[in-house]
Amino acid sequence: MLFAVTAVLSAAAKPATTPAAKPAETAKPAAATTAAPAGTVLTSIYTATRTPSEFAEQDKAADLLKRRAETVRKIQDERKRILKEDAKAKELYDEIMRLNRQLASLLEAKKSMIELNSQLLELDSAISKLKPAPPPETESEDTKKEDTGKSSKAGKTDKE
């Protein structure tokens, strides 16, 4: 759904063509432009992931990152609400989804994609047959008991 919404935002962000523009210029594909599409920028803004440990003020960073995540959730909820209530937005979304399914069908029907998908399935099968890694080693109970015993003995000698 995020893809569809960013596609709508991307389409809305494109400047209108001027009457003086040549037909060949208006027919150029989006890839020929040097600027990143607005949808790409917005997607990276909403999906950026940071951790408090990256910052010197970790408590403040944690609070700000929590508030950021909440704001992103609110944006997603508002987009869903708009898509439900705005007939034009819903119509555009439905058209984008229809075209997305049509494109996916066309791409997946190509021989090269069928071969790559088969390779992927084989790799996934081989990966699932691998044994999981053992859990990381921790100190054995004997070592912990020895350390505890040494520190308690040291405490007794200090008192004596």
Residue of 34, 45, 35 lying closest to 2 (CA atoms): 45
Dihedral through CA 7, CA 10, CA 11, CA 16, nearest 10?
Answer: -170
Q: Are 110 and 103 in contact (CB under 8 A)?
A: no
What pLDDT, on the 0 to 100 scale, is given for residue 160? Answer: 46
Residue 145 one-letter amino acid: K
CA distances for 78 relative to 6, 82, 86, 140, angstroms: 14, 6, 12, 53
pLDDT at 7: 45
Report the C-alpha gap between 145 and 118 in whole angstroms: 53
Please report the pLDDT score of residue 42 as a whole number: 60
Residue 74's identity, in one-letter code, is: K
End-to-end CA distance of the chain, in Å?
Answer: 72
Q: CA torsion 69→72→73→77, rounded to 10°? A: 170
- At residue 41, the pLDDT reads 54
**pTM, full prediction:** 0.45
Are 78 and 107 in contact, with CB atoms under 8 Å apart? Answer: no
Q: How far apart are CA 127 and CA 123, in angstroms?
A: 6
Token look-up 């090269």 returns: 112
Provide the pLDDT for residue 13.
Answer: 42
- Measured distance CA(110)–CA(160) in Å, rounded: 84
3-state SS class at 26: helix
Residue type, 25: E
Q: What is the pLDDT of residue 152?
A: 54
pLDDT on residue 133: 84
pLDDT at res. 49:
83
In this structure, which amino acid lies at residue 58? Q
Q: What is the pLDDT along the chain (160 residues), one digit of tens a residue?
A: 444 444 444 444 443 443 443 434 334 434 433 444 445 556 667 777 888 888 999 899 999 999 999 999 999 999 999 999 999 999 999 999 999 999 999 999 999 999 999 999 999 999 999 988 888 887 665 556 555 655 555 555 555 4
